[in-house]
Amino acid sequence: MLAIQELSKRFGDLQALQKISFSVQKGEIMGLIGQNGAGKSTTFHSILNFIHYDGQISWDDHQIDERVFNQIGYLPEERSLMPKMTVEQQILYLARLKGQSARKIKPEIDRWMARFEVKGKRSDKIKSLSKGNQQKVQLICTLIHRPSLIILDEPFSGLDPVNEDLLKQAILDAKHQGAAIIFSSHDMGNVESVCDQLVMLRKGQMVLNGEIRALRDQFGKNEIFVTTDWRPGDLAQLPHVTTVVNLSANRYLLRVDDPAAGPLIFQRLSNGEYLEEFSQQPPTLDEIFRLKAGDGR
């Protein structure tokens, strides 16, 4: 288990982190989100011992040091591949930094390239690959030594939905094999699709921490998605409806000031007849992000 307790970091007059505490269990994916400058990268760099910090960070009850580094896989937001190396040279170079031998890693390369559908050969230079395929190679470098702790910062950058799914499955496989994973992305859909828990930072402070569904439910089920031939003006007159948003033809989002009004609204809209869609939901993670990760207004 990764345990972070009272993590703080100051750069001159800037308090980058202030007493951040959370844990990531083995076999769990923790989403770490926040606006640019919220403290995500500083958190990663503290875990990796790139910077000095105040507080405690431990892995399996031991301080993270050189003995633990070989168990960590890190994919930084800023890519770090060497363009003049071949794919094989790059993978072997980074694997050796993790204490892995070429004899052990070489037989794995073709399987990983096939798994991620890399368009290119192991003898191709990194610079000859597309941005998306370079991203796949970088993730191979992160995962090929089967790390126990994985840190992924914007892992799907530059990828189309099909390739996102390929990499997403590899991340979920690592989770099922027992890795503790921290996943950071500005795409809340990706966060919600892979993460079990969530930590949200704002200006160096933790503003949310918990299981994603439970966090959403805290905000109340004040959104109703409905498909109906009612007119927007009539929908706005329903009890406790504060906002009507036309999403598409005959499909609307109704925001209510009291979630308990849902059954009454359903009764009025259906009048005992079939409704194609009526779904009462808490705010999306996107909406919560805008509310909590911004200026707090």
Report the alpha-carbon distance of residue 150 to residue 142 in Å, rounded. 8
* Residue 19 vs residues 10, 151, 207: alpha-carbon distances, Å: 11, 20, 12
Which segments of the chain does DSSP mark as H helices, in order? 40-47, 66-69, 87-97, 102-115, 131-143, 161-176, 188-194, 212-218, 232-236, 262-270, 285-292
| Backbone phi, psi, residue 185, to 5° | -160, 150
User: Token pair of 110, please?
Assistant: 């073709």
Report the alpha-carbon distance of residue 248 to residue 194 in Å, rounded. 28
- CATH superfamily, domain at 2-217: P-loop containing nucleotide triphosphate hydrolases (3.40.50.300)
* Residues 278 and 270 sit within 8 Å (Cβ to Cβ): yes
* Residues 97 and 141 sit within 8 Å (Cβ to Cβ): no
Report the alpha-carbon distance of residue 21 to residue 19 in Å, rounded. 6
User: Token pair of 266, please?
Assistant: 């359903």
Letter for the amino acid at 34? G
**Distance in angstroms between the alpha carbons of the first and the last residue of the chain:** 35
Report the alpha-carbon distance of residue 245 to residue 287 in Å, rounded. 14
Select from 291, 228, 285, 235 the least CA-distant residue to 261. 235
pTM exceeds cut of 0.75: yes
Strands of the 223-227 sheet, one edge to the other = 241-248, 251-256, 223-227, 277-281
Second CATH level (architecture) for the domain 221-281: 2-Layer Sandwich (3.30)
Per-residue tens of pLDDT for the chain, all 297 residues: 999 999 999 999 999 999 999 999 999 999 999 999 999 999 999 999 999 999 999 999 988 877 788 999 999 988 789 999 999 999 999 999 999 999 999 999 999 999 999 999 999 999 999 999 999 999 999 999 999 999 999 999 888 999 999 999 999 999 999 999 999 999 999 999 999 999 999 999 999 999 999 999 999 999 999 999 999 999 999 999 999 999 999 999 999 999 999 999 999 999 999 999 999 999 999 999 998 886 544
* Residues 135 and 117 sit within 8 Å (Cβ to Cβ): no
User: Regarding beta strands 28-33 and 197-202, do their DSSP bridges make them parallel or antiparallel, or are they unpaired?
Assistant: parallel
Domain ranges of the chain: 2-217, 221-281
